[in-house]
Amino acid sequence: MPIPNNGLITETNRQYYEGAQGFIGDAVEQSFLTTFDTDLVYGSYDPNDIDYALNNYKLYTSSTGFPGSFSEVVAGYSVIGNAIVFSFAPSAGDYIIVQLKKLDGGNYGTTFAEMAYGNTVENNYGSYSYITLNDIVNNFMVAYVGVGKLISDVKRTDIIFHAKRCLQEFSYDTLKSIKSQELNVPHNLSVVLPQDYVNYVKISWIDHLGVKHPLYPGGTLTINPFENPIQDTSGVPIQDNFDSNIEGDSLTERRWDSNNIIHQLQNFYNVNNQMNDWNNYGIDNYGYGRHYGLDPQYANINGYFTINEREGKISFSSDLIDKLIVLEYISDGLAYDMDTKFPKLAEEAVYSYILHAVISLRIGQPEYLVQRLRREKTAKLRNTKIRLSNIKLEEITQVLRGKSKWIKH
């Protein structure tokens, strides 16, 4: 295999962009080692086997190599490590293609069903700018632990713990850990929080032109009660046979869900007694900008949302039903354990964080050393924030040109 980019990267262009690697049979060899950055995941070669869906690739062969002549291999092979192992030696001159699953199906296979649809290839795009948590731990053990080094001995489990804590702390305000989901608001006006959700950054609804319209929390307008005990006529909560309070539906949520803001707006001028209910909401048709004492937090025509901690959902106001929304949120980055990735721009700051954490928790360490490592950790974290802020002078200059505008009244 040719060495791409003088050895700076490990995959060929074909492997990276197309997600494919080819071999030629010689009637002798039965094993063919793949060199993707992505490991092969093997469930079964049989499409009728339920484990077949676990495969992150498809295997094709052709006797001619002509486009459209490839057919999927559905028997007679296994995967050991990243090697394809046949139970027989493919004929001399046979073309063998390993195609990682790809959104557009790749260039191999003769029918729609045989094409390798998935997103394995796309998940690898841009991965060179990251380093895995496992590599961070291994590099730290090699560079910072040993005889004559600052840390003479430490358990690998301790390093893993501090590395994970570092990832969590960095994820909140340093790393690019903002994820996003595109969702539709169903008729129950609630969507489930993502599995790795820690806190939201921004929620917007998307119009037919793809433009974002920011939503704001309605926590001061309404609330999602955490408990809704059913009461008797004296107001005392009623218990079940297991001495636990019987829970009912939230009347607050039900009233908020049925509060059709759009309908209320359309009928405002025909129903005078609604003025007291909507006077301070700051909604456009209700005199937005004209009522004395307008509260800016309600000066919003886009809609509202609340975080329903009881159900683990985000609830929306009724005017957002069937709208397309984008949820931007923070994750702690630990969803994939040791395969979790750090940006390479933050690598040195991670090592400093772990080094300070290990030394500061040990008995008998000189305080000047602990403080030196703390200052070093802080300085490298500051440098990392500057690097990851992605500030471009040309872009800032373009924005600042707006300061020269004359605003006419």
pLDDT-based confidence at residue 84 (cuts at 50, 70, 90): very high
What is the pTM assigned to this prediction?
A: 0.69
Pairing status of strand 304-308 against strand 216-217: parallel
Locate all alpha helices (DSSP H) within 238-346, ordered by sequence.
251-257, 261-266, 275-278
Tokens linked to 66: 């002509």
CA quadruple 310, 314, 320, 323: dihedral sign: negative
Q: What is the pLDDT of residues 93-142, one digit of tens each?
A: 999 999 999 999 888 888 888 889 999 998 888 888 888 888 999 999 99
Burial pattern 196-220, b for ≥16 Cβ within 10 A else e, equals bbbebeebbbeeeeeeeeebbebee
Please list the helix, strand and coil fractions of the chain in percent, rounded to the nearest 5, in that order.
35, 20, 45
Sheet strands side by side (includes 190-192): 190-192, 313-316, 304-308, 216-217
Whether the per-residue pLDDT at 374 is higher than 90: the answer is yes
Distances (CA, A) of 149 to 140, 146, 235, 295, 380: 12, 5, 68, 60, 20
Residue 280 near residue 221 (C-beta atoms within 8 A): no
Q: Residue 106: left (phi > 0), alpha (psi -120 to 50), or beta? A: left
Instruction: Enumerate the β-bridge partners of residue 31.
Output: 85
Average pLDDT, the chain: 83
pLDDT band at 265 (very low <50, low <70, confident <90, very high): very low
What is the rounded CA–CA span in Å between residue 193 and residue 201?
13
Report whether 323 contacts 215 (CB < 8 A): no
